[in-house]
Structure 1
Amino acid sequence: MKPASLAALGVSAVLLLSVGLSLANNPRPVEAAGASEVRTWRTAARHSAGLAPDPARLADTAIVQVYAAATFGWRGYFAVHPWIIFKRAGETAYTRYDVIGWGRGTVVRRNYALPDGLWFGATPSVLVDHRGEGVEAMIDDIEAAIDRYPHAEEYRSYPGPNSNTFLAHIGREVPALRLDLPANAIGKDYRPVTRPLGVSSSGSGLQFSLLGLLGLSVGVQEGIELNLLGLNFGVDFNRPALRLPAIGRLGASDAVNAGERADDVH
């Protein structure tokens, strides 16, 4: 068998494995037993997941968190929607930012939903949790990055720019965030064709990408990751894991927890 055929067979096998694991893991919300109403985006749960620290109890602590949850409907088996929340010391409420593809005007929305609310029924995971020392300066940089987001008036679910493109932009602009978006954050690798080379979405490496459809990223946080038509395959050496489409990650967690200092890069 020719090398090209072997490579195609290998990619197909890994893709089938990734999709199978995602289906088995079922990141989408499950209907409650006996529920008679079919869930739609209008009726899906949006309540708090109970993940955000109590901002009133921690009023004197600056906090930044990044969340990601399965997208609504069948797409939830293949992709996630991320957002960022933060509060400064002295504040008793969070500010949330994410990109929303529907509605009028800018796609960058402030406080669109609860800070840690379910994303149309899907429970989010915490990707980043920074608290205390150094976080005030990080929030300054995050707000500046949000203001500089170059795609605030455009949105395409595939290959981007979309909600993952937005968080990847913040990650590039604020490397202290140590944001490593998972492999199923479709759109994180979107780059205009006029700027195919630059910093990777974690802010810790380099990336070559053509419109998020073909590219390669190499960095401290993401390891080595290949992008083929928006499907990402790679290996994370920082916290050993395979980076796979659909399921995102298979191996050790890469979440940055509150106990880790922002400058404690492995």
Structure 2
Amino acid sequence: SGMAWRGVDPNESGSHWAVPGRILPDHMKSRSTREKLDYLDEIGRIYWPPNGKVPQYKRYLDEMPGTPIDTIWDDIGGLQSQDAERTGYPTQKPLALLDRIIKTSSNEGDMVLDPFCGCATTCVAAEHLNRQWIGIDISVKAYDLVRERLTKDVADPGNILQFRNRIHLKTDPPKRTDLAVDYRERKFVYVISHPNFEGEYKVGIARDAQKRLAAYQTSDPERGYRIEYKLETPHFRKLEKHIHSIFPNRHEWVQADLKEIKTEMKNYKGE
């Protein structure tokens, strides 16, 4: 309808009154446009802007049909260097991303498993959302980082030790009995470099160093990662911990001269 209502003529702005029928009760749906507008105004669904502008219908989010979430999420940005939640872990994901994943795939009290928990983003999100959780990571640095982050981001200030008995470091995991050869003897300690991290080297463990390298390359469009050195040893876990303990490091990235790292790895006797 283009008729004036409450002193407002929609024709002056080249528009007309449009009343959404989905919120009207049945007895109002056959009424005139003016009567419908009067009803909406009575129940507080009309917004009167200042300066005599055309009033607007109030819409509420829980009444809108919305759009189903797509498989591509571009509304959660990556972490920036100044973000408070950033730990410096190279593959850290935003907490908001894990919040959404956990909310859409589990209920309160459910168990959440992250077998590559890294800097504990999944663990923190699960704890915030009242889920049980298990976080696993092969890196010895992840143990310290998980405890540190849970204490900082989750723990009750009056009980900062509440997670101490729930986080465990296993330096000698159980031996598999379904393989003819001990799979632990086939693992490598690798040293990976990247041009963006000059003077730093990622030291970690992998059964197949090339596959581990390929995994890192998928997250790097420039494919700058490269293997500088790898050593197959039955003492892989102790060796990784040894390298991280004698050189300055930032999580899994060791800050040292490459020759010194290689020499230390070659001379390590597994003690």
Scaled to the shorter chain, the TM-score interval is: under 0.3
Bigger radius of gyration among the two: 2
- Name the structure, 1 or 2, with higher relative contact order (CA <8 Å, separation 6+): 1
**Which is richer in helix?**
2
TM-score norm. by structure 2 comes to 0.20
TM-score norm. by structure 1 comes to 0.20
